[in-house]
């Protein structure tokens, strides 16, 4: 994982902003191909964290190595609730 993913895991908007303000990449991918946005959705991050990543240019159509997209992950999680 990269620092951007750890920032998302913190679930703290100020940490995410801190990392991105200092050159963090919203498109960074981990070993599974997860972007910070996909990780935020799958980890159930606060809406404000997801919104910040989108506002900063995250690719909402990005998919991981297994072809799981952000929208598909969100639908799966919604169906579980």
Return the pLDDT at 78: 75
Do 16 and 7 meet the contact criterion of CB atoms below 8 Å apart? yes
Q: What pTM did the predictor assign?
A: 0.91
Per-residue pLDDT of the chain (81 residues; tens, 9 = 90+): 899 999 999 999 999 999 999 999 999 999 999 999 999 999 989 999 999 999 999 999 999 999 999 999 988 877 665
- pLDDT, position 7: 98
Write down all domains in the chain, each with its CATH number in brackets. 3-80 (1.25.40.20)
Contacts of 49 (CB under 8 A, 6+ apart): 8, 11, 12, 13, 16, 40
φ/ψ bin of 67: left (φ > 0), alpha (ψ from -120 to 50), beta (otherwise): left
How much is the pLDDT for 63? 94
How far from chain centre, in Å, is Cα 43?
A: 9
pLDDT at 79: 67
């Amino acid at each position: 994982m990269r620092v951007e993913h750890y920032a998302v895991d913190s679930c703290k908007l100020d940490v995410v902003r801190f990392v991105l303000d200092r050159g963090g990449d919203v498109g960074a991918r981990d070993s599974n191909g997860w972007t910070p946005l996909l990780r935020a959705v799958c980890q159930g991050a606060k809406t404000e964290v997801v919104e910040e990543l989108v506002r900063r240019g995250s690719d909402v159509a990005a998919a991981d190595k297994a072809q799981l997209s952000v929208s598909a992950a969100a639908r799966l999680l919604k169906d579980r609730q």
